Structure 1
Amino acid sequence: MGLNKGPFVVDQSVSVDDPYDRNDPDVISIPTPGDSEEVLTVDVCVKQPHKTQVLLDSMVQVAVRATLSPFPVNVTFVVEYELERNGTTIASITNEMDYLAVGSTPGVNGRHNNFPNFPLVDENPNQGNNTYVLRCTNFSPNPSPFITIGSRSLKASLFEC
């Protein structure tokens, strides 16, 4: 078996200059533990689910700012990344990071991390329209640093075999 046609690709991406800029409408804030935000969405139409695979690729830039004291402090944050199909989680990764304080400005301590490619092959898409969502949830311990989502991308490649 081979590909009948080349892959069909749909994607969404957002590019942000400063992931700490709360006034930028493209920056997503998830400041409180337990908060969850839909980061990106793509729709894929599947005609023959038994002959179709959907390859999902994603990337998220997570920025963390702690203003928990008058001076820079060490920060622990936890973010869960989920890929959903039609409202059901099909994959998730939880990322816990400890950052040492940086900088010398009182009350400002910022770091950011790119969560690299989160690839997934969906071998069981539903027939019809499938909505894929990349969601991020703040599971940081209290007191939580302020977490924002900057640049990000979600791409779905549809392969018919």
Structure 2
Amino acid sequence: MINIVDELCYDLNHEVSQATNEIPIYKWEDEEKEYLRELPDDLLVPYFEENITRIVSKESMVIFRKCKYSVDPRYIGRTVGIELTDDEQHIQIYYNGELIRAHDITTHQFNYNPDDRVEILGSDLLKGRSTEDIKAYIEEHLSDYDQV
């Protein structure tokens, strides 16, 4: 699609215009280009940089782009900040300016950090059990959910 649009743009700018009876690329180079100024690279940054905040749900997750990402259960009910990395492939989750979790951005519905998964189960379903028991439970019962 991009190639088609690029070819069309090239063709239209290199043929005689019905409106001006001139070739647009030459008119631009000869008459209009000198009036244009280069724009700063960061001109649009203020319009796209925004503070992304979320309240950590009872399931110890934050929603970002319709997917859920885990944090430690001690942040349940608290407001956290989310920042995209420069390559927009990862999110970083902050509480009071301190990085508390980082995740790869995925299209998976649920994205758990292994440590968070243990803490979440240990604070609720498997409360009072040892870390080893919780990890065994995860391995036995929850590994299929990773495929979802």
Same fold by TM-score, threshold 0.5 exceeded? no
Higher percent of residues as strand: 1
TM-score normalized with structure 2 length: 0.24
TM-score normalized with structure 1 length: 0.23
